Structure 1
Amino acid sequence: MSVSVDPTFVKPGQTQPAEALRPHAEHAFADELAVLAAQDDRPRPARWKLSPWAVATYLLGGTLPDGTAITPKYVGPRRIVEVAVSTLATDRALLLLGVPGTAKTWVSEHLAAAVSGDSTLLVQGTAGTPEEAIRYGWNYAQLLAHGPSRDALVPSPVMRAMGEGATVRVEELTRVPADVQDTLITILSEKTLPIPELGQEVQAVRGFNLIATANDRDRGVNELSSALRRRFNTVVLPLPASVDAEVDIVARRVDQIGRSLELPAVPHGVDEIRRVVTVFRELRDGITADGRTKLKSPSGTLSTAEAISVVTSGLALAAHFGDGVLRPGDLATGILGAVVRDPAADRVVWQEYLETVLRERDGWSDFYRACREVSA
């Protein structure tokens, strides 16, 4: 017999239920944000919850004067974060650009949480995103009953952010149709949103700004017009510079996800995480780590985000169908699925890498056998 459970409806900004599967950043890290706010004595732009220095510390991590440790949310060049934060303190919008899996969405969420205390003002860009998602819509029952009025108007997240002096996020901007993208031009240049039906406009109050993300792989889908691109300060998020940096990122993120899912602790699988990261980096770069062997690259991105997904799935297998220790057999199927996206071309690339690189690598025999078994 199935049991029906009523969903818990939460308004943006409200405290989330204790059992939320994926809490918003401002709730997941509420303690750190509160400590930073209490010890932050630097100037804050209008309506910012923290100073720019404290926002950067929240993202990059550090130790406060009282000894409180702030965990890093982003592992990467400090200057990139400083430029992003300082951009939001001006009247320029911020565009986070990069290949898939470079933490663009993750960084935008944490920036909004630290600056405005609310990361839920969000427009998710898709090929079907309508103009109303950026401007406003209408409650048609009210519209038919009473005609155009402010009561019948349904504000978009962008309109709400303008009125509240908050930070709004637009994810995957280049996925949005070009004519819808261009509705942002007046908002970003004039800081106003006209409502012709009412003969009115909404003016942005101090503190308003916008963070957009865009994918390098989406170039040519819906390119930003030069007029719109000029309204943004673009910050490119790079791939992790080294194996150690990427292993650290994967281990931290998998540990956070694993704790919420009650999976085994990551430290038991750090060696296997390093193997996954090494495989992904070598195939992504088209050359082995020692620089001796050139490789063909598969069609997929093999990003850090995909490595996190493969390891998390492996931990779930180890927890529920093994002894809780992450082993090559728990990862092999996930790696195969990440690498072989095109069954014809990618399978050839993977088999060649498997037999010419992994087979000959010292200490990798168990990993090679597990991958070869699922690839047969």
Structure 2
Amino acid sequence: MLSELLAAAVCGTSALAVQGTAGTTEEQLRYGWNYALLLAKGPSREALVPSPVLTAMTTGAVARVEEITRCLPEVQDALVSILSDRRLVLPELPDDSVAYAAPGFCVIATANLRDRGVSEMSAALKRRFNFEVVPPIADFDAEVALVTRQARTTVERVGAAYTVDEAVLETLVTAFRDLRTGSTVEGWEVERPSSVMSTAEAVAVAASIGLSTAYLPGPDPLSLLPGHLVGVVRKDDPADHARLLAYWDGALRRRAEAGGRMWRQLWEQRDVLRD
């Protein structure tokens, strides 16, 4: 989201983007061809299909490469010469074989630190980027406010009323923060799952609970939280289910025994984690 906002603010569009995956090819960062025109007329500017990066180069705009570390290393390296020389050689076009970067051209790439092992960026490519680490929201109240606002907007967009109590959302955000950081505000250690447990996922859970409450009235909204937490934790590694159970039997149980009403209700829902 930050890369989209920056690109839109700098050049008026965030649409010049390449989504990095294991299937992303070098052509998606450089250029491809309209093969019908290529066969009919041979290599020409008309037959060339520019990538979003090449379009950004020639127009002086901002190109985005999302999840760059999910691209294969040889695909990532296609950016090295573009960022260092600020030009792209088009050897198939002998009369117009070089595309030069117009003033204003730059590339914003994003990656999740927890995914760095997918395809580590080469040292050569790293030297051509300035790095900015965006940490999770540090302030608890700010995170609760953001989750509340975004979840309410999602539910109200479909014409339903958002009726989830703020105390439920505070409990949700607390659980996410405990599992994300590996510790609680009380100082108790928590085994972290491999899942990122991001604020965006907390918003998705809060919105889903709000929609369930609006269209399937009956269950206490808090009773829906354990099932959603299982889904968030298990999506990367099923073994993380055991870590969630350990959190339930550790920090959550201690809060329940201390008299916390919300935590006591969650503790009573422990069997949901076993189903």
> Shared topology, TM-score over 0.5?
yes
Alignment pair present for 1:139 and 2:37: no
Superposed CA offset, 1:92-138 (max 9, x none)? xxxxxxxxxxxxxx100111111121111110011111111011100
Alignment pair present for 1:155 and 2:50: yes
The CA deviation at 1:326 is 7.4
User: 1:304-319 residue pairs with structure 2 within 5 A?
Assistant: 304-319=199-214
Looking at secondary structure, tell me which structure has more helix per residue: 2
Alignment pair present for 1:274 and 2:173: no
Residue 207 (structure 1) aligns with: 104
Q: Residue 355 of structure 1: which of 245, 249, 258 is its match?
A: 249
Distance 1:189 1:259 in 2: 47
Structure 2: segments with no counterpart, 5+ residues:
none
What root-mean-square deviation, in Å, do the aligned CA atoms of Structure 1 and Structure 2 show?
A: 2.1
Amino acid at match of 2:166: V
Distance 1:221 1:256 in 2: 34
Tell whether the 8 Å contact from 1:163 to 1:205 is kept in structure 2 after alignment.
yes
Amino acid at match of 2:47: A
Residue 366 (structure 1) aligns with: 265
Residue 120 (structure 2) aligns with: 223
Distance 1:299 1:231 in 2: 30
Tell whether the 8 Å contact from 1:172 to 1:212 is kept in structure 2 after alignment.
yes
The CA deviation at 1:283 is 2.1
Residue 284 (structure 1) aligns with: 180
2:117 partner SS: coil
Distance 2:119 2:193 in 1: 25
Amino acid at match of 2:232: A
Residue 83 (structure 2) aligns with: 188
The CA deviation at 1:296 is 2.2
1:234 partner SS: coil
The CA deviation at 1:257 is 2.7
Tell whether the 8 Å contact from 2:205 to 2:228 is kept in structure 1 after alignment.
yes
The change in CA–CA distance for 1:144 and 1:225 in structure 2 (over 3 A counts) is same
User: 1:25-64 residue pairs with structure 2 within 5 A?
Assistant: none
Residue 113 (structure 1) aligns with: 8
Q: TM-score, normalised by structure 1?
A: 0.66
- The count of residues paired between Structure 1 and Structure 2 equals 266
Residue 333 (structure 1) aligns with: 227
Tell whether the 8 Å contact from 1:250 to 1:308 is kept in structure 2 after alignment.
yes
Tell whether the 8 Å contact from 1:126 to 1:176 is kept in structure 2 after alignment.
yes
Structure 1: segments with no counterpart, 5+ residues:
1-105
Distance 1:287 1:218 in 2: 21
Q: TM-score, normalised by structure 2?
A: 0.89
The CA deviation at 1:373 is 4.2
The CA deviation at 1:238 is 0.6
Q: Provide runs of 4+ in structure 1 moved above 6 Å.
A: none
Tell whether the 8 Å contact from 2:27 to 2:51 is kept in structure 1 after alignment.
yes
Distance 1:195 1:124 in 2: 23
Residue 257 (structure 1) aligns with: 154
